[in-house]
Structure 1
Amino acid sequence: MHPTKAIPTRNALLDLDDNALLRHCHQETYRASGPGGQHRNTTDSAVRLSVLDGAVVALCADHRSQHRNKAEALRRLRSAIAIQLRMPVTPGGPLDPALSPQQGAWTLGKKDHRYARFIAGLLDVLAHHDWVIGQSASALDISTGKLIRVLSKDPHAWNAVNQARAKMNLVNLRRP
């Protein structure tokens, strides 16, 4: 009998370094079709990563190098985990430390390893407030304009918010 492997939480996954996160992933390589000339389909260079028993999947077949595709798929997987998986927010409780202005969270770039955790926390607050920007901004102690500007810099997060708002019969956000 095999011991059961503990399933890490979303935040635990996002906090892992690349090698540790890869150990939690199911990895597949395959030959991708499409543009790229005669060398595109000669090796299994495309990479598909999945985590949490296939709940979140990311793939990359953009490069001829399997290593480059794996690195890009891993970056995409972090983004997908942050955008797709929600965690509850305690009403009136402390916010996720990843949202702390003292940590410089509001100025993070997409290449910073803390960025996915920051976006995940933002989306958690928005989901808790039924995707209403004003209430979410108030809970975060920022202006609605700042929240919209931060979201608008990430096309995947922006689309996820607008899709969730559409399900709640709220109008789509307009880019600043």
Structure 2
Amino acid sequence: MLPHLSAPDPTAIDLTTESLPLVEPVSASRFFVNVLGWSQGLGFTELAGFNSAVNASEYSYNGRLGNVRTKQFGRPSPPTITLKRGLDSIGFAQLFAWHTLARGNNPVGKVPATFTILAASGLPVAACTLENAWCSRLEIDPAQAGGSNVVMMKVTIECDDIVML
């Protein structure tokens, strides 16, 4: 027996390629994070990751037609943003102090922050608020004494939620 097919919902949002405007891709040149309580924000040269995920949860039950298996929304993972910038004493001290609060499980370390992507022109392309953000990981890339490469630091920021502005 074939399932009953209903007519499409006229109020549904149409996301076909014909309904969306053609937009030029972003050529981002800078990323900016500002945390509540900082006198000024920090600029970053590389976005190494922007992750927001909801895990799938399998649900199984025995119905009239036998065993039915479905996938449902599961537990969301905390959103994360991973950024890189050249190592400098002021930026490292600022990020390390924020990371130290998280390592000490200090509730003061969970603060609102903003994340902005800037185009080559310096104008914001996208911005979002990071609710209850904390510095979960701070890394310095391997470096060799006397090398000419810029030493990079990588920061991972986790938060409870990301809200686009």
Report the TM-score range of the alignment, normalised by the length of the smaller protein: under 0.3
Larger helix share, 1 or 2: 1
TM-score with structure 1 length normalisation? Answer: 0.23
> Which is greater in Rg?
2
TM-score with structure 2 length normalisation? Answer: 0.24
Q: Which has the higher contact order (CA 8 A, sep 6+)?
A: 2
